[in-house]
Amino acid sequence: MKPIKLSEKNKDFFKDTYAVARLIPKGRVTSYGAIARYLGMARSARMVGWAMNGCPADVPAHRVVNRIGMLSGKVHFPTPTLMQERLEAEGIEVRDDQVQNLKTVYWDPSNELSL
């Protein structure tokens, strides 16, 4: 396992967030809240987004959207269009910064991993 060191601090929460984000299958998306709940901090969805602030290349942050499937975090990418292009490249339909067929491509970690 490759330890992610954003800093020399604890970043334990960040590490878990990245771990789950990496587990998102190709062509699927999940929400910050879903990851947060899986990590045990259901009400800290914001922290997930914050954790993504480090956004290492190993983490497919483009597969993480808010609960309505909106590409809320696209502005944090190197280029605002990168997120949508990557999602489309994986077969996810994106229209007006929103993931189409969200119900179909949605991937819930606590539903897929905690079986």
Partner DNA sequence: GGTCTGACTAAAT
Partner DNA sequence: GATTTAGCCAGAC
Is 110 one of the binding residues for DNA (CB under 7 A)? no
Query: Nearest distance from residue 112's CB to DNA, in Å?
Result: 16
Task: State the Cα–Cα distance between residues 53 and 50, nearest whole angstrom.
Answer: 5
Query: Nearest distance from residue 7's CB to DNA, in Å?
Result: 8
Position among 4, 19, 23, 72 found at the interface with DNA (CB under 7 A)? 72
Q: Which long-range contacts (CB under 8 A, 24 or more apart) does 108-115 make?
A: 108/30, 108/34, 109/20, 109/23, 109/24, 109/30, 109/34, 109/35, 109/38, 110/34, 110/37, 110/38, 113/20, 113/23, 113/38, 114/38
Binding mask 38-57 for DNA (x = CB under 7 A): ---x-xxxxxxxx-xx-x--
| Binding interface with DNA (CB under 7 A) | 9, 11, 13, 31-34, 36, 41, 43-50, 52-53, 55, 61, 64, 66-68, 72-73, 75-77
